[in-house]
Structure 1
Amino acid sequence: MKSAYARAVELVDRLGICLVFPLENRAEPPSLWNGLHPRSKMRWDWDENADPRVVSLWHLREKLARSGDVAYAKWFRGRATFFSLPVFHALLGTFAKKRIDIFRGLPRESMDILDLLRESSPRSTKQIRADMDLKGRAFESIFTHAMKALWSRLLIVGVGEVADGAFPSLAVAATETMFEDVWLAREAVPGASAKRLEDVLAKHPVFARELKKTTDELKKQPLLPLDDEFG
């Protein structure tokens, strides 16, 4: 019998893109929960009555993200999202194919965080806040906005968790360091990978709309002065 981990990797590879937990127990967009526990309603309870399957999937999410066998990012509406590696490669290639500068209009705080992760990845979100002097409620919106911009453009990925406090923090890495091969080859996406992404977006329009939203927003961003561009 296959392990839960092996089944989850196969599921991500088959779906191409999926959430970890379903949105309001709906079938769309697809999720690991629905794939592993079909026709089972998920109860988000963390007390003595908690569903052990929810707890197990939470831990499995961390193991998958750390593995490198799939890619993990808070991409779809800021929610935990898994990608098969071919589809992830094709998504990165989408920006290059459309001649969209993925760094265009990136907030200064986002670029500073990305530079930090380029120097040393992974780092926990707690470490990033401390290193960027963005700790506390006063900087919460700035940090959240900066991270959201990086997640939506797939410039960063989640790679597990770090036990650096009462609760573990998400470990984050620059995509170009964690998935260097696909990053460097984002302008040369294999035809099979591009076709796989096309099929996934056609089957799940909600993901296609999310990608279009990001690309449309990028096109609206102002061009940076020549001496201030990010490459």
Structure 2
Amino acid sequence: MTKLSVNINKIATLRNARGGNVPDLLQVAKDIERFGGQGITIHPRPDERHIRYQDARDLKSIVTTEFNIEGNPERKFIDLVLEVKPTQVTLVPDADDAITSNAGWNTIKHQDYLKEIIQEFQRNGIRTSIFVDPVLEMIEGAKKTGTERIELYTEAFAHEYSLGNRTGINPYIESAKLANELDLGINAGHDLSLDNIQFFQQNIPGLLEVSIGHALISESLYLGLENVVNMYLNKLK
């Protein structure tokens, strides 16, 4: 079964919009795990517009499943991850002003840079994953960085799927096959939803984990958080 890691950035966005502590981010993380979620993901950004760096520290003692911290490996982010020591760190090449992640790493151009950072995390017992587009050369480059996993950037798949084009998954299938051959673990995320998750999971060999936030929280407004978490779990079986 593919594990479901729930990204709780949107809970933090809602909290920050009003100030105070409603909704309670830590309680939501506990509830997601109680509902069956198999991981919690956060993506702190330099301006702390949703997840705050202190949230990462506070969640460390709360999360009992897998804790995944995503972000651009600037020095402040690296120091935070080394302090918190989550289960996994996912490296994402975000610009500071990016609304959301919008591209994977060029693992050839940035190979030495990534290799150095990955080694630092691995020396501290933190599993690494790097965000990549479904391009075979980028998968090969990822292997050379020494990372344990990749996270396939799935926006292109989700867009094509919404248009009725099922062939949009083909680059992801080929990338997954290559990753399996190279002994790279496979995660995936971005714009995955209740509509497309089952088709994606059934076609990607060796898919270990999906990280879903925006769609899952949006769907929960209508269907309820506990119900939606379990709907995802059923589709990922």
Q: For the superposition of Structure 1 and Structure 2, which TM-score range results when normalised by the shorter chain?
A: under 0.3
TM-score, structure 2 as length reference: 0.25
Larger Rg: 1
Name whichever structure is richer in strand by fraction. Answer: 2
TM-score, structure 1 as length reference: 0.26
Greater relative contact order, per chain length (Cα 8 Å cut-off, separation 6+): 1
Name whichever structure is richer in helix by fraction. Answer: 1
